[in-house]
Amino acid sequence: MTDSKKEWVLKAFRGEEVEQVPVGFWYHFLPEEELGRGLNSRSLFKKNLEGHRKFIQEVEPDFIKIMSDGFFTYPNPLITTEVTSIKELAAITSIGKDHPWFDQQVELVKAIKKSFTEDIVAIYNIFAPVTYLKWQLAGKVASGDTIIADFLQEDAQTLKKVLGVIADDIAILVQKIIKETGIEGIYLSVQSIQDDRVTSQDYSKYIAPSDLTILEAAHKAAGLSVLHICGYEGASNDISLFKDYPAQVFNWAVGPEGISLAEGRKLFGGKPVLGGFVNTKEGLLYKGSKEEIQQTVAKLLKEAGKKATIIGADCTIPSDIAAERIAWVKEAAAL
């Protein structure tokens, strides 16, 4: 290729013609119980940093999603597991633009970027405001959907207001990350509320505006955005909810949602799509042979084409996966 690695990946993200498609996989560097405990913890900061360094050296990624491990908890003191009514959060205010939660994440991204062995595209992991809210209310990652459904039924307008305050704070984080570290953008993780009481109309009216605030913040900072529609632990999404979101690249759980890369590209108006592989330990990437994995890459590229396609997974892959398995994907994508 005549382009640098960074320009090649950026071309793919823009949906331009490329000689070969980029490949992107990532995993967590902290266990689940530590994902929200990184604020003011130098030991977890160092653990995450060293995990990234090792990953970069072993995988030599085409581009990287920098993991916000340790900072999954949005530190607003009003949001606790003791909250039983959305009205208790009606007086919520910003944590303040100078909060160390912002600055320590900027410091982390800068440190990780310094560990790069080459100039590559980097995007930072950001969660939707409702995700930060539900996890903190539940006190656990991948939880809290029932609480959000309860609060939506109790007082939808107050919930929307609360999400707006959180979104404004996450927008501060996004702008700081992009402007102060010089990375290319964000990877925004969204998800339908996993409770049948919350309709698609409810999501669009009361929750989506907070998602859009985050994307707008990235764009105002001249950053790109990858929208991840998260199917973690079997979560099911109404993919059409997000079809008009102004992201540059879209990623979702291809198999579980029953929407291929090619079909998804049509849904998202021809924009670039990312994915193809199941991310669990039961998936082909984790347990399949080299031949099976490379045949799957060939199948994906035959179906989706090389333009506006990036090969990856449904979500975060297991952290104990062998680096050579990712290398097999990269090798097949280069053919």
Tokens 């670039």, residue? 272
- Spatial CB neighbours of 333, under 8 Å, sequence gap ≥ 6: 20, 21, 22, 23, 297, 301, 311
Distance CA 144, CA 86 (A): 13
What integer pLDDT is reported at residue 285 of this predicted model?
A: 98
- Supply the pTM of this predicted model: 0.98
Quick: pLDDT tens for 275-319.
999 999 999 999 999 999 999 999 999 999 999 999 999 999 999
**Number of domain units in the chain:** 1
Side chain identity, residue 104: Q
Distance CA 277, CA 264 (A): 14
What integer pLDDT is reported at residue 1 of this predicted model?
A: 61
Q: Which domain holds residue 180?
A: 5-333
Mean pLDDT per 10-residue interval, the chain, length 335 residues: 90 96 98 97 98 98 98 98 98 98 98 96 98 97 96 98 98 98 98 97 98 98 98 90 98 95 97 97 97 98 97 97 98 96
Cβ(171)–Cβ(124) below 8 Å: no
Tokens 């030599």, residue? 60
Tokens 């409810």, residue? 202
Tokens representing residue 77 in the block: 């003191």
- Spatial CB neighbours of 5, under 8 Å, sequence gap ≥ 6: 62, 118, 119, 120
- Give the Cβ contact number of residue 8 at 10 Å: 21
- 188: phi then psi, degrees, rounded to nearest 5: -95, 120
- Give the Cβ contact number of residue 328 at 10 Å: 20
Per residue, the 3-state secondary structure of 46-78, as one string, reads HHHHHHHHHHHHHHCCCEEEECCCCCCCCCCCC
What integer pLDDT is reported at residue 12 of this predicted model?
A: 98
What integer pLDDT is reported at residue 72 of this predicted model?
A: 98
User: Can you give the CATH number for the domain in which 222 is found?
Assistant: 3.20.20.210
What integer pLDDT is reported at residue 235 of this predicted model?
A: 87
Tokens representing residue 63 in the block: 């581009």
SS3 at position 289? coil
